[in-house]
Structure 1
Amino acid sequence: MVKKMLTKKLLRDMWAAKWQFLSIILLSALGVMVFAGLDAGWRDIDVSLNKNFREQKLPDLWVSLSTVDQATVSRLNQIDGVKTTQVRSSYEATAQDLTNEPTILLNGFEGEINLSQPTVLAGKRLAENDVRAGLMEKKFAEAQGLTVGDTVKCSIGNMEIDFLITGLIQSPEYIMSTNDIVPNPKVFGYMYVNQQALNLPANEVLVMLEDGVKSESLKHQIEKVFPGSMVRDRSAHRSTDTVLSEVSQFRSFSYVFPVLFFMVAALVVLTTISRMVDNQRSQMGILKALGYSKKKLYFHYLSYGFFPSLIGGVLGLFIGKTLVAKILWQAEAGTFTMPQHYNAPISMLSIFVCLLSIGLAVGICFFACRQQLKETAAELLRPKPPKSGERILLERFRHLWKKMSFNGKLISRNMFRAKTRSFMALFGILSCTALLISAFGMENSFRHLVDVYYGETYTYDIKAQLEPNPGSIESYQKRVPAKKIEGIMEKPVSLAAEDTSRMVNMTVVDNQQSLIHFSEDNSNLPKEGLVITEKLAETIGLSRGEKVALTLPGDAKPLNTFIADFASFGTGQGIFISRSLWDKSGKGDFVPTSLLIKEPKKDIAAYLERTKTIARWSTVETQIAETLTLMDSMRGVIFLLGVFALLLAFVVIYNMGILNFVERTREFATLKVLGYHNREIRSLIIRENSILSLVGVLLGILPGILLANLALKVAEPDDFVISVAFSPLNILWSCLITFIFSLGIQMILARKVASIDMVSALKSIE
């Protein structure tokens, strides 16, 4: 019977203070949802990728050689730690019968495909004896209007091969399928074919390692056994490295932003529950007088925090795990060719955060009612004595205080005397402002990085990629209709120093080039030594003056040089050498792979389209847009943070406004009796909250800047150097959005003044 009575009372109390209980549910849900969503997002991607990599047998190493024969495979298999190998030929071809003649990467496998096994999405698998069949990437086929049963003509040098498309596939090796900045199935795709069909030497071996063997150590062994080989592990393979880097960034974000959400939620829950328990003082006295034990009363009042936080925590786990994680997956799928989506189980860390949220709410309830339950029933039945009046800080400045109006004094006294409520409102608005500034700041930083790279580091207007054997740069400088033409030669090389090596991109530039700026005051490279980007040097652990060896594909004799200087590049990490150093190396002629074009003439597009030695070209504006596309998933996270920040602000401001209204009902009724109109009282409420909102907005600027710095520092990938760049306009917009949002909520709450019953309000403490 006792238990039923307390349950009924709990339900009545919850209904009477439904908005406060709802705010606790929402705040608990929001704090858990942000963490659980980001945590589930990266875990879903990680589980799906690893399951796909394991089932489709993605190689651990890619070994590129000029020629691969049986002796090569035997020597590889004899190295301790090598589990399985797969020989293949990998060559780029041109699809001559397709619009714009896109590039197709032909992967010719010898025998059964044991490693990098594709998922056949339509059609049938590749038969070992069918030398004219081919499995085509599904996205590429759809972009080209091809399907199973169609034929595609591929040109490699002077050789032409017709392939019948027998299946559409998706490969774990090409999560990011591109030979440029971003995936574009209209210009690049891949096919799996039989090696005999290519009639070209095998040039690559895929290697799977034994369990527990580290790829880095085995990579060094292979490089020693096969001088001139190029060995890439998954960290140097562009597709896998890019998508795994995204996972790492999501993981980093999940440990940064939820902390602020959780802090705000905990503090507001603290204030809300404390006020609710304080308002139950006389009820506690009655229950004590009726003989209810302290233990039962504790359980009753702890329910005020337990049930709302339990509901909110479970909701946060569910919404975060489903909705937020799904949004992040879709953001990734928009850029990459993602495998089948597998849901990772809810992590113990997310469950711990949920339990922590519940524990905090229950703990707050315990300490809020502990002091009151120590008192006797008689003491509790007496009204709590009001706080003694005291002068606020502004009153000490007498000259200023005398000049203030009555309304101004009333507002000031209320804000200073209700310090906890004012602080909570202030902190909520501050946090919302900081989150919005941080979100805008990161978005602006990504844009700034790209603008600097394509506007200050590289200053060309058009980049044109050339076909193999395109001719000399001097011939293009005479023929291309533009003010300035420069050529660069880009090659993948193995950069080795002592016990470390890494596959990097090497760019050879002309001696007098001016379209690449390696520092603010210098665009020329040293004649001796190489220039390495700072982030790459930091990642590998290289210093200025250190000796290094550069090994070209298939060249057993490395080019020995040293690090002459660093270059600060936001993206496009790699090494640069001058043409004079290349010419002295004896590694062949300077053959440009791309043209950098400055100030082109009007007929440049027509010229580039009809020149057969130019494979493709793009303007700097196109490259900027493509680079930003790679950051779409991070921008999706930033958008979510902005939405969550506004939701947090709404709950905090609305909750504090309700508490303010409930606690000051008697005061507002008194003002009504003294002749104040409803609009005058509403004006007082709005003015007070406008002051708090303005101060909170201004105080949130610096934390927002610091939060953006921290987030970018923690989540910065190996290929980027992201410096925080804030636009004054973005900061202004963040402040205005928060202030207007807060003001709008307060205007809604101020309308409750008209519903005050003056008689009951003034008799409330008799």
Structure 2
Amino acid sequence: MKNKTYMKASLREIFYSKGRFIAIVLIILLGTLLYVGIKATGPILNHSASRYVDRQELSNLQIISTGGLTDTDEKLAADIPHAEAESGYQFFYADSEKNQVVKLYSYNQDDRQNQLIVKSGHLPRAENEIVLDEKAQAEGYRLKQTYQIDQPDQLTRKKFKIVGFVQSPIYTSTDERGLSNVGNGGVDFFAYLPEKNFSSEVKSVIYLRFDNVKGLETFGKDYEEKMDENINQVEKLFADRSKERGAEIRESAEKELQPKKSEINENLAKLEAGQKELDQGKAQLQQQAASLPTGNPQLEEAQQSLETQQKELTANREKLISAQQQIKDSEETIAELKEPSYTYDQRAENPGFQEYGDLSERIAAIANVFPVFFFFIAALITFTTMTRMVEENRREIGTLKALGYSRFEIAIKYIIYAVSAATLGIVLGSVIGINTLPRLVFELSSDRYNFPGVEAFYLARPIIQAAIAFLFASLGAALLVLLRELHEKPAELLQPKAPKPGKRIFLERITPIWSRLSFNQKVSYRNLLRYKSRMIMAVIGIAGCAALMVAGVGLRDSLSSVGAKQFGPIIDYQGIVTLDDQPDTSAVKKIFAETPQITDQLAMLNQTIELKAKGQANQKLTMMVPSDRQAFKKYVHLKDQGKRFSLTDDGAVITEKIAEMFQLKKGSTLTVYDEDQGSFKVTISHITENYLGNFLYLSKDYYQKARGEDFVANSYLLKSQDMSQTAEKKLAQQLLSSEQVTNTSFMSTQIDAQEHSMDNLDGIVWIFVVLSGLLAFIVLYNLTNINVSERLRELSTIKVLGFYDREVTSYIFRENVVFTLLGIICGYGLGIGLTKFILDQASMESIIFPLVIRSGAYLISGGLTILFTVIVMAATHFRLRHINMIDALKSNE
């Protein structure tokens, strides 16, 4: 009976202190929600993407050759271990009238890989039917329209009927469609048409799907390791194909020339025979002319006929000799043909795929810091609340102890209270966090990706971590205080703790200030320093929440500033023109001269190089060698700790992220590998600031010295006035049509892509800010509630002494204002450090995030904290007005 009554009393404690109970539950809920939810967001996004690409049978690898793929290549692909191979056609088609570039794919209904998703209409059923990218609808294309492709050397027909609009798993992004080497250099949309329409004997691509990576997370390490093994096997099988295919192409071209060569030789032989007959005719005519009188009409007519025949023979001979020379030139060209290259493109090369993976990585990096700090603040406040709760019940514990209750029986009440609050908070936080945050993050960025949605699942590790931490903060706090209190005698527990003695504070020694303070103000400031633990916990709680809000907005400012820090202050050119492998660039220079927006250009050698080191993943970066190192200063501003410097002839300049990864410093020697794995060494003369990408800069003279070969420009950097997107497309199309350019890229496109990439994180940042604000509000309410509960007799006393309600509220409010202001100031400093730490964790191999916190972050953080303080005090004022002074003052009795 005794235990039953005590259990009821224990449960009633939850009802009687429901405000505190709800506050603890909400704090634990928010902490768990953010910690578990954000920790789960990256894995859930990746898992959902993996399940989507698995359902659509997205190929793991694409084999592409510049020389096309033959039956031999397909047979080799069929022998690849664990692989299922399918071949197809693909090429770029430039519609000059509409200024559009379309990537055309072959469609075969028997193929299993890269399954299309029909958004409207149906897939091709007849040879004259075509399906377009759903993005083409924005260009005005509709079902049942006729779509014309003027590509007679690739296709057997021109006109097709549009029967559907589709999505392809090859394209993760809703906007990005990759680059092309025709038209304006970009791809507007893709299209699929039946394979029978393609006339070429050689295929364009072989798709591979591997059994040994099925079920693995496509962005996970296990998948990457398996795919590295698979690619190594593919490269071994195709190691000799480049030379073999080059020989096949030369042999085929020579076979095509042979009939023409034979025909020319035969025609030359006929011409020689005709010339002999003509010479004989001339000799006979001369003999006849000697016996005929001068001016004979027949003689003159015969002479004219012979002269005409001679002219025709001479003209034909010149044509044949010219054709013969063309054959020789073609033979020389065939002999000089480069061997075709074979490339092996993984899913990461698909447009938008890597960007989605980077988003998950950034979320995971942020999740390692921000929620943990949030979690710590929530746990700290929970610990404080539970500690204060047990301390408030000293007299009750003493009474129970005097009545003969055991320590365990006394403790059970607080165990029930703590476990109930923690369980409710952890369960609700986990369920809400996992089922809302990943979906919310996805919805905020879903317009950029073609994935249908997320498949939420529960991750045991963060839930267990949250449970352990909050059980320790709630139950552990209660048990720690109980252990101390239960060792005291009942008589001691039944007496209230003696108040802390008052002491002179530092402010009292500043007489000009202290003498001007009112009595109430003096009491408030004395109380602040009299109860130091209360002040410290309040300041820590408020500072932590303010720091979280500063860090939240600061993250947004920093992430969105990458482009602004890179383009302009460092990269100060507007375009890069990549040249074809030929020395003649006259047509390109003419276009530059005729384009008024182009103000300057600089010839460059740009190459993709690779760095290797033990214990470090191989890293690719761009090597840039300007033709004029002095002029290069106008295009790229090299900086070392904010100070500009120039390229020199005694060393190379490397960007700071690569220097950090490979532990490079001034004077270090670096081995560089080119695309053919040829190596050369450079000495690092400077390390330069850089935020996007990784670069190695060399002067022309130093490059020739280090490399041991002549400098040959393969690109141009362009400086231009502001150009519209239409003007950029037009210039790119002109340059590509010159047949001396393979690609033109503009910095405006990279800036837009970077902004879009960072926009994906905006939603997450605002989630942090909102939840941090909610936590700040609950923390302020809870701390104020504890403060009032602990000082109920004190407040009742001053009310009895005649203080008005407003004065009593001011008595508490004044302390809260000091706590709040101190917390905000400390939170600002803590927020800067927290933001810097998160950015360091979130930086990737090719991106460094600058620390940029604008005034808005401080205004939002400080403003919300002050607003919450005012709201809490308004609620507290209402409570203070209804204090039952007699009951409070009789509580000790």
Matched, 1:451 2:564: yes
Give the structure 1 partner of residue 286 of structure 2.
none
Q: List aligned pairs for 1:645-664, cutoff 5 A.
A: 645-664=772-791
Give the structure 1 partner of residue 25 of structure 2.
25
- Shift, 1:69, TM fit: 1.2
Number of residues of Structure 1 aligned to a counterpart in Structure 2: 747
1:23–1:340 distance in 2 versus 1, CA, 3 Å? closer
- Shift, 1:122, TM fit: 3.9
Q: Percent identity?
A: 23
Mapped to 2, the partners of 1:588 and 1:69 lie a distance apart of 34
Give the structure 2 partner of residue 50 of structure 1.
50
Farther-moved stretch of structure 1 (25-34 vs 737-746): 737-746
Mapped to 2, the partners of 1:58 and 1:562 lie a distance apart of 41
Question: Residues 271-303 of structure 1: CA distance to partner in whole angstroms, max 9, x if unpaired?
Answer: 222222223233334444555443332222211
- Shift, 1:574, TM fit: 5.8
1:387 paired residue among 499, 519, 526: 499
Give the structure 1 partner of residue 720 of structure 2.
598
Return the TM-score normalized by structure 2: 0.73
Q: List aligned pairs for 1:22-101, cutoff 5 A.
A: 22-66=22-66, 67-78=68-79, 81=81, 83-95=83-95, 101=99
For the 8 Å contact 1:56–1:172, the answer to whether it is kept is: yes
The answer for unaligned runs of 5 or more in structure 2 is 180-185, 214-224, 243-340, 737-742
Mapped to 2, the partners of 1:530 and 1:110 lie a distance apart of 51
Aligned partner of residue 457 in structure 1, secondary structure: coil
Matched, 1:690 2:817: yes
For the 8 Å contact 1:94–1:156, the answer to whether it is kept is: no
Give the structure 2 partner of residue 134 of structure 1.
130
- Shift, 1:632, TM fit: 1.8
Aligned partner of residue 59 in structure 1, secondary structure: coil
Farther-moved stretch of structure 1 (499-508 vs 656-665): 499-508
Aligned partner of residue 51 in structure 1, secondary structure: helix
Question: Residues 215-274 of structure 1: CA distance to partner in whole angstroms, max 9, x if unpaired?
Answer: 335545555605532333345555332222222222222221222222212221222222
Give the structure 2 partner of residue 172 of structure 1.
169
For the 8 Å contact 1:428–1:648, the answer to whether it is kept is: no
Matched, 1:241 2:241: no
Mapped to 1, the partners of 2:659 and 2:203 lie a distance apart of 33
Mapped to 2, the partners of 1:537 and 1:94 lie a distance apart of 42
Mapped to 2, the partners of 1:240 and 1:418 lie a distance apart of 57
Mapped to 2, the partners of 1:590 and 1:505 lie a distance apart of 13
Question: Residues 471-497 of structure 1: CA distance to partner in whole angstroms, max 9, x if unpaired?
Answer: 733112321123614378999967586
For the 8 Å contact 1:89–1:108, the answer to whether it is kept is: yes
For the 8 Å contact 2:652–2:697, the answer to whether it is kept is: yes
Mapped to 2, the partners of 1:82 and 1:491 lie a distance apart of 38
Aligned partner of residue 700 in structure 1, secondary structure: helix
For the 8 Å contact 2:438–2:456, the answer to whether it is kept is: no
Give the structure 2 partner of residue 257 of structure 1.
370
Mapped to 2, the partners of 1:373 and 1:318 lie a distance apart of 37
1:345–1:670 distance in 2 versus 1, CA, 3 Å? closer
1:444–1:464 distance in 2 versus 1, CA, 3 Å? farther
Mapped to 2, the partners of 1:482 and 1:375 lie a distance apart of 86
Q: CA RMSD in A?
A: 4.2
Q: List aligned pairs for 1:281-680, cutoff 5 A.
A: 281-375=394-488, 377-380=490-493, 382-391=494-503, 393-394=505-506, 397=509, 403=515, 405-460=518-573, 472-482=587-597, 484-486=599-601, 495=610, 511=628, 512=631, 516-517=635-636, 519-520=638-639, 533-535=655-657, 546-551=670-675, 568-573=689-694, 590=714, 596-599=718-721, 613=734, 624-680=751-807
Q: List aligned pairs for 1:725-744, cutoff 5 A.
A: 725-728=852-855, 730-744=857-871
Mapped to 1, the partners of 2:808 and 2:161 lie a distance apart of 80
Query: What amino acid sits opposite 1:39 in the alignment?
Result: K
- Shift, 1:640, TM fit: 0.9
- Shift, 1:430, TM fit: 0.6
Mapped to 1, the partners of 2:605 and 2:92 lie a distance apart of 16
Farther-moved stretch of structure 1 (365-374 vs 696-705): 365-374
- Shift, 1:156, TM fit: 6.0
1:744–1:622 distance in 2 versus 1, CA, 3 Å? farther
Question: Residues 59-84 of structure 1: CA distance to partner in whole angstroms, max 9, x if unpaired?
Answer: 333333112112223334445x4522
Matched, 1:15 2:15: yes
Mapped to 2, the partners of 1:220 and 1:373 lie a distance apart of 68
Return the TM-score normalized by structure 1: 0.84
Matched, 1:153 2:162: no
2:839 paired residue among 712, 715, 727: 712
For the 8 Å contact 2:508–2:514, the answer to whether it is kept is: no
For the 8 Å contact 2:61–2:346, the answer to whether it is kept is: yes
Matched, 1:271 2:407: no
For the 8 Å contact 1:549–1:559, the answer to whether it is kept is: yes
For the 8 Å contact 1:467–1:614, the answer to whether it is kept is: no
- Shift, 1:756, TM fit: 2.7
1:608–1:56 distance in 2 versus 1, CA, 3 Å? closer
Greater Rg by CA: 2
Matched, 1:144 2:259: no
2:226 paired residue among 214, 221, 229: 214
Give the structure 1 partner of residue 325 of structure 2.
none
- Shift, 1:9, TM fit: 1.8
Mapped to 2, the partners of 1:356 and 1:600 lie a distance apart of 55
Mapped to 2, the partners of 1:658 and 1:591 lie a distance apart of 69
Query: What amino acid sits opposite 1:269 in the alignment?
Result: T
- Shift, 1:317, TM fit: 0.9
Mapped to 1, the partners of 2:410 and 2:121 lie a distance apart of 70
Query: What amino acid sits opposite 1:17 in the alignment?
Result: S
For the 8 Å contact 2:604–2:626, the answer to whether it is kept is: yes
- Shift, 1:446, TM fit: 1.9
For the 8 Å contact 2:502–2:526, the answer to whether it is kept is: no
Aligned partner of residue 599 in structure 2, secondary structure: strand
For the 8 Å contact 1:685–1:750, the answer to whether it is kept is: no
Aligned partner of residue 613 in structure 1, secondary structure: helix
Mapped to 1, the partners of 2:123 and 2:804 lie a distance apart of 81
For the 8 Å contact 1:466–1:613, the answer to whether it is kept is: no
Mapped to 1, the partners of 2:58 and 2:431 lie a distance apart of 33
